Chain A
Amino acid sequence: MRHLHVYILLAVAVLALAYAPRVNPYWMHVAIIAMFYGILASSWSLLAGYAGLFSLGHMAFASIGGYASALLVQWYGIPIPLGMAAGVALCCALGGLIGWVCLRMSGPYLAIFTLGFAEIVRITFSTEDDITAGMAGLHTEPLFRAATRLPYFYTAFGLLVVSLALMGAIVQSRWGLFLRAIREDEQAAAASGIDVARFRILAFAIASGFAGLAGGFYGHYIGILTPSLGGLDLMAVLVVMAVIGGMERLPTAVGGAFAVEFLLELLREYGQWRLPIFGVILLLTMRFARNGLLTPFWLHFVRLGGGARGAAAVVAPGRKDSRA
């Protein structure tokens, strides 16, 4: 059946939303955090997987979005959604600026530059404790004053769906094609007429904006923000999620975030050993399945609906077999 995979996804989403009120608070919290990571992993996939810009500063933008929203709400008493929107705008602007500064960098140089940026952000938030409360943590206004986590679950779900829809529209358009061309060969992309600088800056701005959105939600959900949100530890977890799932496709990156977050909880009885287990999975993925463990399953799933390979819709209009 044509678009069968879309109908299956819709059915699963409806079931998840209908079943949510029956989920116990612990697993609901895990699901909410998984969706928070889902937004981060998919936006990092847009940057690193599609555009080939391997940034280690993505969690720093989540942190900036979180602090910006929390502080604006605290100082000016603005509505939380407005604070989150301001955090997104700030992250877009800062992301674009970082993209512009490191226009000529790629590979390890870009990774080290963005890691340096993330550390500057983390240390600034740690030391400016008059403003951020430092390592003691900044208490934030809750998004909902409800007895259950259900409103947060629905909000996280909505944010994830909207984020995926927007990023999906980008990667399926000519912009997505241009980003992949830049990833493959910047010089050839420029020779093909692509304004490489503009698209690199755009990729940074867009991905950072979504990171800021996730960070804003997280801050107003958890109720406290610490500088460790933007640290290398969580960045490493994010990379593991996207790489294990498959960083060159948004759905597989989200799948990786869900799989790792739920497995981390299921393997709690192994204590700290669960982390080396994921390290080994990451190594095996890089060695034997560089497109991610979930990518083959996703491609089979997409083929149920008549798609193939996962090419952008803009690539072969009018051809049934090359859409995904």
Chain B
Amino acid sequence: MSENGILIEGSRVTKRFGGITANDGVDFAVAEGDLVGLIGPNGSGKTTLINVLTGHLTPDGGKVILRGRQVSGKPAHIYAATGVARTFQLTQLFGRMTVLENLMVPGLTRPRSSAHEVARRARACLEFLNLAHLEQLYAKNLSGGQQKLLELGRCLMLDPAILFLDEPFAGVHPHLRDELIKRIEELHRAGRTFVVVDHDMESILRISRRLVVMARGRKIADGPPEAVRTDQAVLAAYAGL
């Protein structure tokens, strides 16, 4: 971690797709132990920012600094190896692999990992996520909520310093959503850093310690949830003004 406690930082991040500027000079920093909610209307550039900060996209401008070292342009697996984990807006599991195999994959990418140790950790992770009874099922056969939980588990197997969760509550049954929130809060209390993107304002406000709002590719607000909720620029963005 850098001296000022910043774990990951996107500085003046710009990303264009053809004529559209998805991220326009965005500054976004996350300190260790933070739980940041990232919100904004559809098309505001949240997922693009996550893709840049996790190495899935290379920024056209600006840089990404991870633990004080510039990592822009490096492939995603390097980010993962450095402790950056993520889930996807539309769940992306290894569908025709078992639930256990889904967790074994990230575990085995860790240096000097042994299959026995990874299997033990994977089973402990499945217990934590209440998925242990589904260990031998193909991931594609899980329900939507269970898939979101498994994707979270896959992140945890990397033993990450920071987790980016892209719309973890979308399309999830309220019961499983509560389960997911409980797990995120537990992990946060245990010292994990989170950035959570979602449209479910109730859930985001429930868990976030800090709220960042984006609109039209720019960051328009950043601060404690109670302050951001009443910010005029945020209200205008959500009202489409």
Contacts and interface: CB of A to CB of B under 8 A. Distances in A.
Given A192-B154, A196-B77, A177 B105 contact: yes
17 contacts: A174-B108, A178-B109, A181-B94, A181-B97, A187-B76, A188-B92, A190-B55, A191-B80, A193-B80, A193-B109, A194-B105, A195-B75, A308-B136, A315-B100, A315-B119, A316-B100, A318-B116
A185 interface: yes
Interface residues of B, number: 33
Q: Point out which of B77, B80, B157 has the most chain A C-beta atoms below 10 A from its C-beta.
A: B77
Given A188-B92, A188-B93, A309-B136, 4 more contacts: A177-B108, A191-B85, A192-B158, A194-B105
B108 to A, nearest CB: 4
A314 interface: yes
A177 B104 contact: yes
A74 interface: no
Interface in B17-45: none
B106 interface: yes
Contacts of A177: 97, 101, 104-105, 108
Given A174-B115, A193-B106, A318-B116, A311 B101 contact: yes
Nearest to B154: A192
Contacts of A197: 75
4 residue pairs, one from A and one from B, having the closest CB atoms: A193-B109, A193-B80, A184-B94, A190-B76
A54 B33 CA distance: 44
Interface of B: 54-56, 75-77, 80-81, 85-86, 88, 92-98, 100-101, 104-106, 108-110, 115-116, 119, 136, 154, 157-158
B164 to A, nearest CB: 10
A322 interface: yes
Band of interface residues on A: 20 to 34
A317 B121 CA distance: 12
B94 A311 contact: no
Contacts of B75: 190, 195-197
A315 B101 contact: yes
Given A311-B101, A315-B101, A322-B136, A187 B119 contact: no
B105 A192 contact: yes
Q: Point out which of B105, B136, B158 has the most chain A C-beta atoms below 10 A from its C-beta.
A: B105
Q: Point out which of B93, B96, B101, B158 has the most chain A C-beta atoms below 10 A from its C-beta.
A: B101
A317 B105 contact: no
Q: Point out which of A178, A197, A315, A318 has the most chain B C-beta atoms below 10 A from its C-beta.
A: A315
Given A315-B104, A316-B119, A317-B119, A193 B94 contact: no
A180 interface: yes
A175 B74 CA distance: 22
A314 B88 CA distance: 27
A316 B101 CA distance: 8
Contact of B95 (A184, A196, A317, A318): A184
